[in-house]
Amino acid sequence: MRKKLAFVTLLLFCKLTSASASEDEFFTDVHNELQNSSFSGLIFIAHGKQVLYSKAFGYSNRENGTKFNKYTVFDIGSITKQFLATSIIKLSEQGLLSVEDEISKYFNGVPEDKKKIKLHHLLTHTAGFPANLSNHRLYDIVNYQQFPSLAFREKLQSDPGVKYQYSNIGYSLLARVVESVTNKNWEEYINEELLQPAGLKSTGYRIPNFKSEILAINYGADQNTFQRLFSIEAKSRSVGHSLKHLYDEPGERWMEGAGGFMSTISDMYNWYLVMRAGRILSKDSWETIFTPHAKEGDRSHYGYGWAITNSELGSKLITHNGSNGYSFADFKYYPSEDLFVIIATNDIDNYPEEFVNKLNKHALTVVANKSIHLTADASAD
């Protein structure tokens, strides 16, 4: 990611029908500030099946004058990982694998230092692999058969099971495990077993075959060598949509499984409804996914495809974000409050992080205390 982002949440901009004047002014000011800012993207908030707020800001394509709307397809980045983790647990339910299996069961030529790596370690980022494949960019073409041997050449940052080390390599290996067990492409299995049963019709990498006009264009202010040398600020420019690499040069990518998925607001909401209802998997399986298996930081742990931490009120927060360096998406689920928040932007340079942080505790408190009555505002025009 181009700048460090904490786990932050943009919450609860909504009509207040029985709130104090000061609270009403507070949310009105928030909304106006966002409208007048450089933020471009989508914000969606729901309390269970009640949509509290859904709004689009700015342009998904500045050059064409296309505004963000509820149909805009955006990059969810590493939020893809939780779909892959869910597919592994689904296969475990079907008796086709175990998270305690060592990777040598699924790959030939596993070197000695990596033979004790289990699927559990890959799921929790405790296998010891570095974040990314050496000497490769995010979207570089590496065929599926070649990738494991390249991954196994990487030097482990720690012994398996000892330390949390976020790794796209680990999740890309899990995608190959899914293919080994099912004899299907990783995305095909996820689509058939998870996305379609959940009603997610606009989520995926290749299968949806998105039309370019509905994909959000990403923007960034990258300095060239001259600008860096003389500290000259660069202007924000288009870098294309997040599937440009695939449309320009089709081929298998090494990062598949660790990222790649695109989605929409409605699909992300439907997935939250699946999670809260405990559908697709058994109750025990969902609890396994949401268990804080590995310590990630001072206040957070990693489950299977999700970061598990505490909200500002001390309640449980299940979350993950994703970025390709230009786009940013953040998925948050507060099970105690039954609160869901998704925010997506195509311009991470103008993501209002400080502003978002200030709102977080206030909004969560309002929901938890039920101190106001909320009316739905489901517009996203």
What contacts 231, CB < 8 A, 6 or more positions away?
none
CA distance 229 to 231: 6
Answer positive or negative: Cα dihedral of 86, 334, 197, 262: negative
Distance CA 341, CA 46 (A): 7
Could you report the average pLDDT of every consecutive run of 10 residues in the chain (381 residues)? 38 34 53 82 86 86 96 98 98 98 97 97 98 96 97 97 97 98 98 98 97 96 59 77 96 97 98 97 98 93 97 88 95 91 93 70 70 44 46
**Per-residue confidence (pLDDT) for residue 369, from 0 to 100:** 74
Res 376: pLDDT: 39
Structure confidence at residue 359 (pLDDT): 61
The whole-angstrom separation of Cα 45 and Cα 96 is: 37
Distance, in Å, from the CA atom of 49 to the CA atom of 22, rounded to the nearest integer, reads 28
Question: Got the DSSP string for 296-321?
Answer: -SSSEEE-SSSEEEE-TTS-EEEEEE
Identify which of 32, 83, 42, 15 has the alpha carbon closest to the alpha carbon of residue 261.
83
Domains and CATH numbers, the chain: 15-76+206-242+261-375 (3.40.710.10), 81-195 (3.40.710.10)
Q: Output the furthest CA–CA distance in the chain (Å, rounded).
A: 67
Q: Which two tokens stand for residue 298?
A: 């001072």
Q: What is the C-alpha separation between 66 and 239, in angstroms, rounded?
A: 16
